């Protein structure tokens, strides 16, 4: 039903909405209990809904309870298509003429522009904006619409979306437009291009001083001045929506690239170690988070791991995350112990001055031994690490120490933990321990330890996934904090 409403709004056929919803609902009620597709088609003077499903044993199709132009069942390949067609009140040209006459008598055009603005503002997908633009203006302003985009001054404008009131004419129109020199129309002022069977109005799409492309409208007769005015207004709104979508997409891509650069490039093979890691940033478009983890080779028979949480999100947090990751790796290769590494990292963060963000960090080294794994670790203000014994007993194994980036004179000491075969060490960020449901946190009354106790006998990956799922299920609303989980299990 929501899809049908969106289509009717985009096609400016709101007067048919109730009938269209009723027919779509009746057809959907007749399909078998298997996946199916709903397809709406626009033929200029009629619209058609199709419910397409793989051929299954179904009862005899029933006619819609409301009057339709025609209906039926057809077969395409292995699909069964139950369809119904509705006649629109007047042809596309008549709809446009009636709309213009109506708009001249009052503020109707303001409602049209408001609806168009709502539709354009409803998406931040750059590929969707041209489709919405074309379906807003057809058939009210023109018989067809072609949207072109340009990449600055590189190359000619490129056709990205084409829509015609008569869907059957789209392919022929596409071929005709391929022979039209759109670039000659310019990208700064509205201009007219004459085709053998239509007048084309080329409207520049310009936002924030940048040319983004062209919106070309076509109709068999001359464009009235009122239509040109409406079209130019739509063009300005469309260009702004397109630019906003592009900026959002660029920022999202930059965030993803930066996030990838802050995560380990690879995860090494460690003798006797089974490990699982999960990382989930919170925020729009996977905004760069302050949580991070790492696992890397530090020497011939030694590996190191880290899990940390920088205060805040965004570029400022990412800067501290990058500093921490590279400092841990560099000093490990220089032979510094984990306690000394944290002392030097603390100093490096403080030297950043006002740009610095405090950091909680759990850092440790892993040494394979005959009976399992020997792990030394330091917790700098980080949620405590938990040890799950093969018997199912859980205990905290880290001593709380000062977080990083706050105090100058700090000394760190390492704790030593031995993992026998089957034992599991769990480290998480506060996206897990402070997951909130009402006034209760997940780790209240040892909630995380209880969750871990249920994981005896599971692989490291299964333990990490069980903790992630437990955090997600603890509250109904999505988490507003980043989440990182590191699980180390002695084979």
Q: What is the pLDDT of residues 419-435, one digit of tens each?
A: 999 999 999 999 999 99
Query: Taking a C-beta distance cutoff of 8 angstroms, is the pair 228, 204 a contact?
Result: no
**Token duo for residue 165:** 């009131």
Question: In this predicted structure, what is the pLDDT of residue 62?
Answer: 85
Do 355 and 271 belong to one domain?
yes
Query: Same domain, yes or no, for 132 and 236?
Result: yes
Q: Which residues contact 219 (CB under 8 A, 6 or more apart)?
A: 93, 96, 142, 143, 144, 198, 199
Shared domain for 296 and 337, answered yes or no, is yes
Compute the average pLDDT of residues 331-351. Answer: 92
Q: Is the pLDDT of residue 259 over 70?
A: no
Q: What is the CATH number of the domain that holds 153?
A: 3.30.450.40
Residues 305 and 433 in one domain: yes
Q: So what's the pLDDT on residue 399?
A: 92
Instruction: Tell how far CA 161 is from the center of its chain.
Output: 22
Residue 292 or 285, more confident: 292
Same domain, residue pair 77 and 168: no
Q: What is the pLDDT of residue 117?
A: 75
Distance CA 288, CA 284 (A): 9
Beta bridge partners of 368: 373
Check residues 320 and 294 and name the one with the higher pLDDT: 294
User: Where a domain ends, among 33, 66, 87?
Assistant: 87
Q: What residue numbers bound the domain in which 209 lies? A: 92-257
Verify that 296 and 244 share a domain, yes or no: no
Together in a domain, 248 and 317: no
Phi, psi torsion values for 81, nearest 5 degrees = -120, 115
Contacts of 108 (CB under 8 A, 6+ apart): 99, 102
Is the pLDDT score of 221 beyond 90? Answer: no
Indicate if 132 and 192 belong to the same structural domain. Answer: yes
* pLDDT greater than 50 at residue 107: no
Residues 405 and 296 in one domain: yes
Q: What percent of the chain has pLDDT over 70?
A: 86
Give 378-421 pLDDT, tens digit per residue.
Answer: 999 999 999 999 889 999 999 999 999 888 888 999 999 999 99
What's the pTM?
0.58
The pLDDT of residue 105: 43
One domain for residues 331 and 283: yes
- The chain-wide mean pLDDT, for the chain, equals 84
pLDDT average, residue stretch 236-244: 88
**From start to end of 141-272, where are the E strands?**
144-151, 154-164, 191-195, 198-207, 210-219
* pLDDT(108) > 90: no
441 vs 474: CA distance, rounded Å: 9
pLDDT in tens, 153-164: 566 788 899 988
Helix (H, G, I), strand (E, B) or coil at 72: strand
pLDDT in tens, 64-74: 898 888 888 88
Mapped onto helix, strand or coil, the DSSP state of residue 115 is helix
Q: At what angle do helices 225-261 and 92-104 cross, to 10 degrees?
A: 100
Q: Of 257, 275, 294, which residue sits at a domain end?
A: 257
CA 378 from centre of chain: 36
State the total domains in the chain: 3
Q: Each residue of 10-45: pLDDT tens digit?
A: 776 767 888 999 999 999 888 877 888 999 998 877
**Does one domain contain both 275 and 343?**
yes
Same domain, yes or no: 296 and 420: yes
Domain end, chosen from 39, 59, 87, is at: 87
């Amino acid at each position: 039903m929501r899809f049908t409403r969106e289509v009717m709004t985009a096609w400016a056929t709101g007067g048919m909405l109730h009938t269209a919803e009723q027919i779509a609902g009746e057809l959907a009620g007749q399909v078998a209990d298997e996946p199916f597709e709903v397809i709406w088609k626009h033929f200029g003077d009629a619209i058609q809904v199709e419910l397409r499903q793989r051929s299954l044993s179904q009862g005899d199709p029933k006619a819609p309870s409301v009057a339709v132009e025609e209906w039926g069942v057809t077969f395409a390949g292995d699909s069964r298509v139950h369809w119904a067609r509705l006649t629109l009140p007047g042809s596309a040209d008549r709809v446009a003429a009636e709309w213009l006459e109506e708009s001249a008598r009052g503020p109707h055009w303001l409602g049209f522009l408001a609806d168009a603005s709502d539709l354009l503002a409803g998406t931040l997908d750059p590929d969707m904006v041209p489709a919405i633009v074309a379906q807003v203006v057809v058939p009210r302003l023109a018989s067809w619409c072609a949207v072109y985009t340009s990449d600055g001054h590189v190359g000619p404008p490129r056709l990205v979306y084409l829509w015609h009131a008569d869907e059957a004419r789209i392919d022929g129109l596409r071929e005709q437009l391929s022979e039209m020199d759109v670039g000659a129309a310019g990208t700064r002022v509205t201009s007219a291009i004459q085709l053998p069977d239509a007048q084309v109005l080329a409207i520049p799409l310009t936002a924030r001083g940048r040319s983004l492309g062209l919106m070309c409208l076509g109709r068999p007769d001359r464009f009235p001045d009122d239509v040109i005015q409406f079209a130019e207004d739509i063009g300005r709104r469309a260009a702004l929506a397109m630019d906003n979508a592009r900026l959002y997409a660029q920022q999202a891509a930059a965030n993803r690239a930066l996030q990838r650069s802050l995560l380990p490039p690879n995860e090494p093979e460690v003798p006797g170690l089974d490990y699982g890691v999960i990382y989930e940033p919170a925020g729009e478009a996977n905004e760069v988070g302050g949580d991070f983890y790492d696992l890397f080779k530090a020497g011939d028979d030694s590996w190191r791991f880290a899990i940390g949480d920088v205060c805040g999100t965004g570029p400022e947090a990412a800067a501290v995350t990058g500093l921490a990751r590279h400092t841990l790796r560099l000093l490990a290769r220089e032979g510094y112990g984990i306690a000394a590494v944290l002392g030097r990292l603390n100093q490096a963060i403080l030297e950043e001055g006002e740009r610095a963000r405090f950091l909680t960090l759990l850092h440790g080294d892993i040494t394979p031994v005959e009976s399992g794994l020997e792990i030394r670790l330091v917790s700098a203000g980080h949620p405590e690490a938990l040890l799950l014994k093969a018997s199912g007993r859980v205990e905290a194994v880290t001593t709380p120490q000062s977080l990083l980036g706050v105090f100058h004179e700090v000394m760190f000491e390492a704790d030593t933990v031995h993992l026998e075969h089957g034992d599991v060490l769990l480290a998480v960020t506060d996206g897990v321990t402070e997951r909130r449901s009402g006034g209760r946190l997940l780790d209240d009354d040892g909630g995380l330890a209880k969750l871990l106790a249920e994981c005896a006998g599971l692989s490291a990956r299964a333990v990490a996934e069980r903790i992630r799922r437990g955090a997600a299920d603890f509250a109904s609303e999505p988490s507003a904090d980043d989440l990182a989980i590191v699980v180390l299990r002695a084979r």
